[in-house]
Structure 1
Amino acid sequence: MSVFKLLDRIKVPYKDKTLIRQAFVHASYVNESKEQLEDNERLEFMGDAVLQILVSKRLYSHEDHLNEGEMTLYRAKLVCEEALMNYSLQLGLNEFLLLGMGEEKNGGRKRASIIADLFESFIGAVYLDTGLESVEKILDIVLEEEMANLEALSITDYKTKLQEYIQSDSRRSVSYEVKNVTGPSNAPVFEVLVKVDGLVFGQGSGTSKKRAEQKAAQDAFKKLVK
């Protein structure tokens, strides 16, 4: 599937295919290519600015009437490197990335920083091509889960909290188990169980194994500290 088939599928219009393609050109590809190409770094700069304003707008308009501190915290979580990487993977953008041979061999297609930057450059290209409304359609998809559960973003690390709580009794152990994986390979949804001494105490799901584990830990932690 090409990026244009992806845009068609999610009903995001496009006019300038060259601009959209540029979003996927990594600097390493330009350095090794004989073509006269521009990499995606300028688009990344634009995408970063667009994401800041649109995520801020969504938080400002949230039904819970968030205060400044809450909006600042949630925005930081929603546009951090890990979050941007997950958005890219959710859409399968890394499949279309153009990398130099060296970067490809060194695992660049799975590197968090590269995949996160890719999402920003993609957003920058879509914005310049067809405007904010098109970007909003993309954010409707990738932010749906996060915006529906903002409270979970405020907790830095539930796995650590759960481990510290359990370690107060050295005889107890914590383990995580992937119960199920659904969805396509480029946008999987993980269901994870957390067990304490072999007994299930919590479960959670998310678009990455790490996120699902955190939600499972959150579920277990809240049950244990009641």
Structure 2
Amino acid sequence: MSSTEELLKRLGVTIDAGTLRLALTHRSYAYENGGIPTNERLEFLGDSILGFSVTDALYRDNPTLPEGDLAKRRSAVVSTRALAGIGRSIGLGEYIYLGQGEKLTEGKNKASILADTMEALIGATYVSNDIETARQLVMRLIGPLLKDAAALGAGTDWKTSIQELAASRQLGTINYAVEGSGPDHARTFEAVLRIGGTDYGAGSGNSKKEAEQEAAADAWRRLSAPSAASPEAGPAAGSAATGTQLQSQSGT
């Protein structure tokens, strides 16, 4: 576990030690340590602050944008994938308190865990300071994403967006290979998206649907990149797991 002082410097906020530790306590760690409190209540609080702050910014900065487009952009920047990306950029995984099972399965790199912890940190910032400090944190974290117009436009439903993109390029049939792992109280899922038999994207989440959405977002970004006319399998290659939990689901 790295010093949390460095984490606070990266976030640019102050959070009291007890609240910060709570924000970093994943349910798997709590379960293995006598059922101590988890970060889930702070996550719930942070999710609301995140949603309001992003909605407020989008409304004020886009006076002519219709409601539907505003909703699409908000969906994209508050997604698990977006928050996990922010978490990875600040090295958040090194600070999260995880149970042994999650440590063995690289829980510190899982999108769902990183995203949930980011929301908990936003909630913790509010609890230790005030709503304006929490809002400013959100905008520092999310601000750069609001400028990514292409991804924001697709973010309302990544599975629909990738299906439309694959169809327009005649790439073939879409399938999702999904594997679940972990105990019932901390179940996670990994998904690989295949188009025409080629792996194009990978994602993870607390549900099959969430993992598939993350895989679809990954594939959409790769296919939308300037050099993506004929993408290599990349990170998704070899990610599909085998076993009784592996499922293939075509279409949406």
Q: Normalised by the shorter chain, which TM-score bucket? A: 0.5 to 0.7
Match of 1:118 in 2: 117
Aligned-pair distance for 1:87?
Answer: 2.0
Distance 1:66 1:48 in 2: 24
The change in CA–CA distance for 1:218 and 1:78 in structure 2 (over 3 A counts) is farther
Structure 1 unmatched runs, 5+: 171-207, 221-226
> What residue in structure 1 maps to residue 13 of structure 2?
12
Contact 2:83 2:114 survives alignment (8 Å): yes
Which whole-Å CA distance do the structure 2 matches of 1:153 and 1:109 have between them? 26
Task: Quote the Cα distance in structure 2 between the aligned partners of 1:17 and 1:63.
Answer: 38
Q: How many residues align?
A: 180
Q: Distance in 1 between matches of 2:4 and 2:223?
A: 31
Does residue 51 (structure 1) correspond to residue 50 (structure 2)? The answer is yes
SS of the residue 2:68 aligns to? helix
1:64/1:127 CA distance change after superposition, 3 Å = same
Kindly state the Cα deviation for residue 19 of structure 1 after the two structures are TM-superposed: 0.3
Distance 1:65 1:80, change over 3 A: same
Structure-1 residue corresponding to 2:39? 40
Where in structure 2 are there 5+ consecutive unaligned residues?
173-216, 230-252
Please provide the CA RMSD for this pair. 3.0
Q: What is the TM-score of this pair, normalised by structure 2?
A: 0.61
Which residue is equivalent to 2:225?
216
For the structure 1 residues 123 and 150, does the alpha-carbon distance in structure 2 shift closer, same or farther, using more than 3 Å as the test? same
* Letter in structure 1 aligned against 2:113: I
Asked which structure has the greater CA Rg, the reply is 1
Answer yes or no: is the 8 Å Cα contact 2:44–2:120 preserved in 1: yes
The percentage of counterpart residues that share the same residue type is 31
Asked if the contact 2:93–2:108 (Cα under 8 Å) also holds between the matched residues in 1, the reply is: yes
Give 2:76's aligned residue: 77
Structure-2 residue corresponding to 1:22: 22
The superposition leaves residues 58-109 of structure 1 with CA deviations (integer Å, 9 ceiling, x where unpaired) of 1111145322111111111111221221222122211101111112112322
Aligned AA (2:9): D
CA distance in 1, matches of 2:221, 2:68: 26
